[in-house]
Amino acid sequence: MSAQPGIRAAAAVKTAKAAAGWKRWLHRDVPSWLLIAPSLFFFVVFHWQPIVSGFALSFFETKGYNAVRFNGLQNYIDVVSNSVFQQTLVNTFLYVFWSLVIGFLVPIAVAVMINEMKHMQSFFKFAVYFPGMVPGVAAALLWMFLFDPGPGGLLNMLLDALGLPMSQWLQNSSLTIPLIIVTMTWRAFGGTVILYLASLQGVNHELYEASAIDGAGIRKRLRHITIPQISHIIGIMFILQIIGVFQVLYEPLTMTEGGPNNASMSLMLTSYHYAFRYFEAGRSLAVGVITFVILAALTAVYFRINKRSNED
């Protein structure tokens, strides 16, 4: 009986501490949650909810955009067994390959050059970023005029003036994907340059001064100081570029509609055709899920390799 008051007192103290903890939480975290709540609501409703719903609908036979009945993996089987999809998958990896060959090093080189400038740096920052402000479809239409295969095309007019034979440009299946990548690089590399510039301006200048005293040239400074110091942002942009190019849609849709002979068809354009040309939402979403799985696997492999290299 003598122990009861002590137990009750300990319980009361514990309850009081819990109440005080809740009050501190309310005063500290509730205002933050109230600020985050609208953005969180829109993120869940307009991002995650469509993703989850689309994933579920990919397992159904659809009539238009309505689910008719559950058919398991049949949409995936139909999509994967289609010869056009197989060519599209190869095309998409070609898009990624050419984007890395043509467009991956361009922003880094331009950022380094602008960072070394003593005058007119602000002008060149604006100049490289300006194409990014042009809407994707408008940029594609502009390049279509440049690549017009007829005698009225701007590049063909230039070739004719130089006495060179005219080219079919986008009508040449071996040139279609590289030319589309040139278009995408022109439009998108400006924002990447700005990110690299921000990273470059955070590099400790004492490292450059020490290397200059040691007689290191610009190549050695780039190799041993600049690149290692911005390697983290290079890795992030590498992944983002693969993800972005893997989902290319506007350029092939506007410039070639996937032609000639499906030479420029991409996974997202295939998904678009299923959804808005053939009205087969289930197969369209199946293509989207396949794309997501491939990107997730590539990203996981990259981070695993990067982690091992950092550990070594």
CATH of the domain at 98: 1.10.3720.10
- Cis-peptide, bond into residue 5, ω within 30° of zero: no
Computed on alpha carbons and rounded to an integer, the radius of gyration of the chain in Å comes to 27
pLDDT in tens, 155-165: 999 998 998 88
Same domain? 101 vs 52? no
Same domain? 172 vs 142? yes
Same domain? 290 vs 202? yes
The rounded Cα 222 to chain-centroid distance in angstroms is 26
Any idea what DSSP says for residue 2?
A: T
Task: Give residue 1's pLDDT.
Answer: 47
Tell me the pTM: 0.81
Same domain? 34 vs 78? no
Task: Provide the mean pLDDT of the chain.
Answer: 84
pLDDT in tens, 9-41: 555 556 656 666 666 665 666 677 777 788 888
136 vs 30, which has greater pLDDT?
Answer: 136
DSSP codes joined into one string, 206-240: HHHHHHHHTT--HHHHIIIIIHHHTHHHHHHHHHH
Longest Cα–Cα distance in the chain = 110
Same domain? 14 vs 102? no
Task: Give residue 136's pLDDT.
Answer: 81
pLDDT in tens, 183-224: 999 988 888 899 899 888 888 777 777 877 777 777 777 777
Residues 6+ apart with CB under 8 A from 20: none
Same domain? 158 vs 13? no
Same domain? 140 vs 245? yes
Rounded CA separation 95/249 (Å): 11
Same domain? 161 vs 36? no
Q: Is residue 263 part of a domain?
A: yes
Burial of 213 (0-12, 13-18, 19+ CB in 10 A): exposed
- H/E stretch holding 284 reads helix 281-311
* Domain around 39: 4-57
Same domain? 51 vs 191? no
Q: Is residue 65 part of a domain?
A: no
131 vs 33, which has greater pLDDT?
Answer: 131
Query: 180 and 251 in contact (C-beta within 8 Å)?
Result: yes
Rounded CA separation 19/16 (Å): 5
Angle between helices 267-276 and 83-98 (to 10 degrees): 140
Q: Is residue 127 part of a domain?
A: yes
Same domain? 33 vs 147? no
Same domain? 33 vs 144? no
Q: Answer yes or no: is pLDDT of 7 > 80.
A: no
105 vs 214, which has greater pLDDT?
Answer: 105
Q: Is residue 64 part of a domain?
A: no
- H/E stretch holding 61 reads strand 60-63
The number of folded domains in the chain is 2
Q: Answer yes or no: is pLDDT of 290 > 70.
A: yes
Residue ending a domain, choose from 14, 29, 57: 57
State whether residue 162 is helix, strand or coil. Answer: coil
Same domain? 47 vs 128? no
